[in-house]
Structure 1
Amino acid sequence: MSLKDVAYGLDSLWVILAAILVIGMQAGFALLEAGSTRMKNSGHVAGKQLLSFAIVSIFFWAFGFAIIFGDGNAMFGTTGWFLDAGKHTFDSISWANVPLSLKYLFQMAFAAVSLAIAWGGFAERGKLSVYLVFGILFTVIIYPVIGHWVWGGGWLGEMGMQDFAGSTVVHLQGAIAALIGTLLLGPRIGKFNKNKTPNLIPGHNQVYSVIGGIILWIGWFGFNAGSTMSTADGFFGFVALTTNLAAAAGAIAAIITAKILVGKADIGAMINGALAALVAITASCAFVEAWAAIIIGAVAGAVTFWTSVYFEKKGLDDPVYAFSVHGIAGIIGTISTGFFASNRLVASAGVGKAGLFYGGGLHQLGVQVLGVVVSMIYVAVISFIILFILKKTIGLRVTPEEEVSGLDISEHGAYGYPEHLDPHYKSVD
């Protein structure tokens, strides 16, 4: 066996392990979101993760992967449908020395994470049928277009936009879709008083939320370090280091911020602080030094808690704070490379230029800001069009009676916790 064969085997093994870690994040989202919502909706909230993963698995295989990585133009790919790889079809991802099937599996897991984020804004009042229709369209005409712009040889990538593992491509896209869904759905029944002040609607299981957060943290090593798609020089270890340092800083900064602002060391704030930091470092994990990762993570964790409180006071009912955790942090993370990208790491990665603090001037910062702005506009406009049409046709929201009874029983015919919620439940013990 040649050295080339060994490298091919090791890279392939690493990519499938990383893909499994990212796919495992679906379990993290299920626990986090189910724990952060009410008991009467817990089965529904967890179950939609499985449904969305199934949707993405099929439609990303058929269309999404080709639109991102297929040969085409500066706006989208036009070849490679159903993973059909002709000559030069997937040149944009030819740098990864692994089978095409693994490239698909790894990238599909990313698309599934983005859609999982979008569903956060629909929690506890969105129709199951909307998940199916919007999930398909998000996978085909929203997510892969921005992905092509940045990763697939599109115009933002040509300008040198730095988004190593998807602060914008994955997280900001999902967050903007969640925001549009939240706005069109309106707040949950009982969330706001007549004077517009918010009421606390606590989740039913904080332990689930903590465990979900830990699973996501672990999965992020596949998300970020796996995006190297190579074991050759061990660089994935450095990416894992910056990822972990940022997450730790975000958790600490968020719980301190919560204590200062609301007087309590809020557990939910700590979870979301770690996740916000992970979102932020996702773009820059390969471009910034370890000390900068700590700063990026801490800023994201602190700012995310403040924005979640602020948006709620302004009337936004985002049940799992998807827009703050994945949107605001995604913006912070993407723009941060424009400040902190080091000459050493940029030269190694071969993407873009050094940041402002390393003598790179305003060029990279400008590219990062442009990428954020155009991505937000595209996702917001297309998501609004799709969801507005759905609202006027099949409707986005369950009836008030169904919402009060809970989506477990109204959409699925069974409670996630029948022994606690079903008055007709009889134990067989």
Structure 2
Amino acid sequence: MYLDNSATTQVSKEVFEEMKPYFTEEFGNPSTLYGIGRESKKALNLARQRVADAINAKPDEIIFTSGGSESDNLAIKGIAFKLAKKGRHIITTGIEHPAVVETLKFLESFDFKITYLPVYENGIIKVEDLMEAITDETILITVMHGNNEIGTIQPIEEIGKIARERGIKFHCDAVQTFGKIEVDVEKLNVDLLSLSSHKINGPKGVGALYIKKGTPIEPLIHGGGQERGLRSGTENVSGIVGFGKACELANNQLEEHYEKLIAIRDDLIDKVLTTIPESYLNGDVEKRLPNLVNFRFKAIEGESLILLLDAEGYQTSTGSACSSNKLMASPVLTALGLNPVDVHGSLRISLAPESDNFDVDEFVNAVAKAVERLREMSPLWNQKIDYEDVMCKKHKNACGRC
């Protein structure tokens, strides 16, 4: 059973069938004027319309990219460099995706000032903190819609209203929420919004950036002027076609899939917390994605738990896919104020619509057995060693850096 759909999803049969002709018969470059080129252009236009319809945008507000990371980079750098003369202050949160965090670190080398808003125990920022952080130099606010590790949903609509009232551009990374809950750019009050195909049963290597009409932005990639001059390079026609179809399917089935995933998610949370001693849910109980849960278990190590579950046929993760091969404690979980040792004992389960054949009872039983086995070997569990005794003396943190 594959339970890591926040990392990537399986391409649906409908999407794959729609893509196939653009690898062979309809292989034309959409920038050319002859027949097969015009057919590719029509396919791009249809896909653009489908993406726009899914988020209540206009087709000419959609720019195709290689995925969520490129969309984040284009949005943040594009606004920063375009509006640098107006100000060099950007506001974000302490739990953003690396595509946002690393982009902001890069901008710091160009003398941009970044404010990282704290999140609280539920993983959600306080709007009051945002308002206090705004200065006359603030040109951009970038806050993710739903977190990729713990699933908490931020008050994007309220943040967008504040940004609009203050004349500040607002970018939102909606990679994890798109296709799971309603994402309406008008309701959310966003100027820029990042999307990714492979999170909604579309192909990898393609995504989109919504740019509200009239938003000033500097391109990152220069060349032939494709995508309204904001993303030059011959378009990935087959991938874009697949993305467009995935958007259409996700949009049409949104309500049905939401109800299905909510039921499985809540059953899973209830049974894990009542079955396994000293197990805890990370993030808000209610303001969370319908398909994602993140638990922590006292006195165990998450990577070992994942390997034991893999041996039983369950593919899960202990954090985001971008950092699951690193030994450092999750910055997202650490930002919640959790003990660094506890952070290492996390387990992320992310569902998909096809998870309706998922046997929750069997899975919880497998987790319980794995946790019990690991605790039998854990000095933290058996001898009640104080956490301070195992924390890194140099960094005061069980971070894995030493």
Which has the larger helix fraction? 1
Pick the structure with greater CA Rg. Answer: 2
